[in-house]
C-alpha cells in the first residue's frame, strides 16, 4: 500500500482550520493508504513556548485525533519525539542541506519577523530539514500539504534527490545498500477545495493557533455557549443576501464554507439555501451546525482523556510500529553515508 504521513503541532488548541484542513481529511485515507499520523512535538519548540503547555497539548492533540475518527487499528499514531530516528536523521540530512535553500523559506522569514531577531532560534531555520526527516523516514508516497507547506515539501523532494545522488546508486550498493534509491521522492496530496479556513475576525487571514484573539477561531473543544458567542460576534458585511466567491466578501465566503463543511452539504445546496438569508438567520443555523458536528467529537475526547493510561499505551504501540520502519531507513542512511555501524 502507498504511504502517507501527516501531523499537527501541539502548539495550542486545535481549531477548525486544523480539523477541516488536516485531521478530517485523514479519516478516509486510513482505509486506502498505510498512514502515519503523529503529534509533531519537536516542531513545536521552534518558537518560544511554555513547557507545561507543550506537555498538556501533546496528549490533548493525540486524544483529538482519535476523537475525530483516527483509528489506531488502521493508522500508526504516535508522538514524534518518541521515535528518535526523526532527530537523528535530521542531523544527517542537515549536512546535505545547503544553507541557501533554508534562507529562501518564506515561513522562516515571516515567523522570524514576528518573533523578532533576538528570539529566533536556529531550529526555526532548520525546521524544514526536520520536516524532511519526518517524511523521508517512512518512504512516504504522498504528503497532504496546504498552501503554506508547499515550499517545505519541495525542499524535501530536492533533498531526497540530492541524498540519493550523493550517497545512493553504485556507491551505496558497494556498501551493502539494497534497492535503487535511499529515499522515495514524495508527492504532494492537495487537500479538497475549501479546506483553507479563515479567521472569524478577518476573512483575509487564516484561522490560526497563534493569533492572539481567541475570538478569531473556533476551537474543537469550545463549549456550546462559547461557539454561539464567537459566531454572534464574528465579522460580517452589509451586502444583501449571502454568496460564495465574491472577492469583496471574504468573511461571507468563509462562513458559508464552514457551514457547508459542517453540515455535509454541497456548495450548490448551501448557495441555494442561504442566498436570500440575512446574517441573523444564517448565524443561528451556522451555530447549530457547528455544535451538532463538534458535540460527538467532544464527547469522545472526554472519554479518551478519562483514561490517559490507555491513551499512553496506544501512543507507545504507535511509536513502536513507526520506529520499526524509521529505524530501517535510518540504518540505510548511516550505511550509505559511510558510518561504521555497531
- Establish if 209 lies at the interface with ligand AQP (CB under 6 A): yes
- Establish if 8 lies at the interface with ligand AQP (CB under 6 A): yes
Edge to edge, the sheet with strand 3-8 lists 76-79, 34-39, 3-8, 142-144, 187-189
Look at residues 272, 270, 239 and name the one whose alpha carbon lies nearest to residue 256.
270
- Establish if 212 lies at the interface with ligand AQP (CB under 6 A): no
74 is catalytic: no
Residue 218 CA, chain-centre distance (Å), reads 17
Helices (H), 9-146: 16-18, 24-32, 51-67, 85-94, 99-103, 106-115, 122-136
111 is catalytic: yes
Binding piece for ligand AQP, criterion CB under 6 A, among 15-23, 31-39, 279-287, 288-296: 15-23
* Between 20 and 274, CB nearer to ligand AQP: 20
Kindly state the smallest distance separating residue 228's Cβ from ligand AQP, in Å. 21
Binding piece for ligand AQP, criterion CB under 6 A, among 63-71, 144-152, 255-263, 311-319: 144-152
With beta carbons less than 8 A apart as the criterion, state whether 2 and 30 touch: no
Kindly state the smallest distance separating residue 89's Cβ from ligand AQP, in Å. 19
Q: Which of 85, 92, 159, 207 binds ligand AQP (CB under 6 A)?
A: 207
User: DSSP state, 17?
Assistant: H
Q: What is the SS3 string spanning 70-95?
A: CCCCCCEEEEHHHCCHHHHHHHHHHC
Question: Distances in Å between the alpha carbon of 263 and those of 243, 258, 260, 277?
Answer: 17, 8, 5, 17
* Between 206 and 249, CB nearer to ligand AQP: 206
Q: Which of 197, 228, 256, 330 binds ligand AQP (CB under 6 A)?
A: 197
Burial class of residue 207, CB neighbours in 10 A (0-12, 13-18, 19+): buried
With beta carbons less than 8 A apart as the criterion, state whether 85 and 330 touch: yes
Q: Which of 209, 235, 267, 321 is catalytic?
A: 209
- Establish if 9 lies at the interface with ligand AQP (CB under 6 A): yes
- Establish if 124 lies at the interface with ligand AQP (CB under 6 A): no
- Establish if 258 lies at the interface with ligand AQP (CB under 6 A): no
- Site string (149-188) toward ligand AQP, x via CB under 6 A: x---------------------------------------
With beta carbons less than 8 A apart as the criterion, state whether 38 and 44 touch: no
Binding piece for ligand AQP, criterion CB under 6 A, among 167-175, 190-198, 268-276, 313-321: 190-198
* Between 30 and 335, CB nearer to ligand AQP: 30
Binding piece for ligand AQP, criterion CB under 6 A, among 174-182, 205-213, 228-236, 241-249: 205-213
Residue nearest to ligand AQP (CB): 21
Q: Long-range contacts: 176-184, Cβ < 8 Å, 24+?
A: 176/335, 177/332, 177/335, 177/336, 178/332, 182/329, 182/332, 182/333, 182/336, 183/136, 183/139, 183/329, 184/136, 184/139, 184/140, 184/141, 184/160
Residues touching ligand AQP: how many (CB under 6 A)? Answer: 19
321 is catalytic: no
298: cell is: 467532544
Kindly state the smallest distance separating residue 173's Cβ from ligand AQP, in Å. 37
Residue 208 CB contacts under 8 Å (≥ 6 apart), including other chains = 15, 17, 199, 216, 217
Q: Which of 74, 150, 174, 206 is catalytic?
A: 206
Point out the residues that are catalytic. Answer: 111, 206, 209
Residues lying near ligand AQP in the complex (CB under 6 A) are found at 8-9, 11, 17-18, 20-22, 146, 148-149, 195-197, 206-210
Amino acid at each position: 500500500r502507498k504511504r502517507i504521513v501527516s501531523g499537527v503541532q501541539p502548539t495550542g488548541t486545535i481549531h477548525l482550520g486544523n480539523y477541516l484542513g488536516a485531521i478530517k481529511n485523514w479519516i478516509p485515507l486510513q482505509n486506502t493508504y498505510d498512514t502515519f499520523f503523529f503529534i509533531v512535538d519537536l516542531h513545536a519548540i521552534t518558537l518560544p513556548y511554555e513547557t507545561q503547555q507543550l506537555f498538556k497539548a501533546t496528549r490533548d492533540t493525540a486524544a483529538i485525533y482519535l476523537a475525530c475518527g483516527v483509528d489506531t487499528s488502521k493508522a500508526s499514531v504516535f508522538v514524534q519525539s518518541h521515535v528518535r530516528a526523526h532527530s537523528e536523521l535530521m542531523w544527517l540530512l542537515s549536512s546535505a542541506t545547503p544553507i541557501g535553500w533554508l534562507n529562501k523559506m518564506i515561513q522562516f522569514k515571516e515567523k522570524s519577523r514576528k518573533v523578532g531577531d533576538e528570539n529566533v532560534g536556529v531550529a526555526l531555520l532548520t525546521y524544514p530539514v526536520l520536516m524532511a526527516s519526518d517524511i523521508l523516514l517512512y518512504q512516504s508516497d504522498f504528503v497532504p500539504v496546504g498552501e503554506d507547506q508547499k515550499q517545505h515539501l519541495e525542499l524535501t523532494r530536492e533533498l531526497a534527490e540530492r541524498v540519493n545522488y550523493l550517497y545512493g546508486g553504485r556507491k551505496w550498493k558497494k556498501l551493502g545498500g539494497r534497492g535503487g534509491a535511499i529515499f522515495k521522492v514524495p508527492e504532494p496530496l492537495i487537500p479538497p477545495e475549501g479546506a483553507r479556513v479563515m479567521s472569524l475576525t478577518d476573512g483575509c487571514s487564516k484561522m490560526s493557533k497563534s493569533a492572539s484573539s481567541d475570538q478569531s477561531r473556533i476551537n474543537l473543544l469550545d463549549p456550546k455557549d462559547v461557539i454561539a458567542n464567537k459566531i454572534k460576534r464574528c465579522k460580517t458585511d452589509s451586502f444583501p443576501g449571502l454568496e460564495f466567491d465574491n472577492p469583496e466578501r471574504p468573511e461571507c465566503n468563509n462562513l458559508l464554507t464552514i457551514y457547508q463543511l459542517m453540515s455535509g452539504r454541497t456548495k450548490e445546496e448551501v448557495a441555494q439555501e442561504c442566498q436570500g438569508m440575512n446574517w441573523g438567520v444564517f448565524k443561528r443555523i451556522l451555530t447549530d451546525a457547528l455544535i451538532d458536528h463538534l458535540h460527538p467529537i467532544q464527547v469522545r475526547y472526554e472519554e479518551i482523556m478519562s483514561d490517559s493510561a490507555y491513551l499512553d499505551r496506544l501512543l507507545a504501540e504507535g511509536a513502536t510500529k513507526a520506529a520499526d520502519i524509521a529505524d530501517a531507513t535510518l540504518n540505510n542512511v548511516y550505511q550509505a553515508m559511510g558510518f561504521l555501524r555497531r
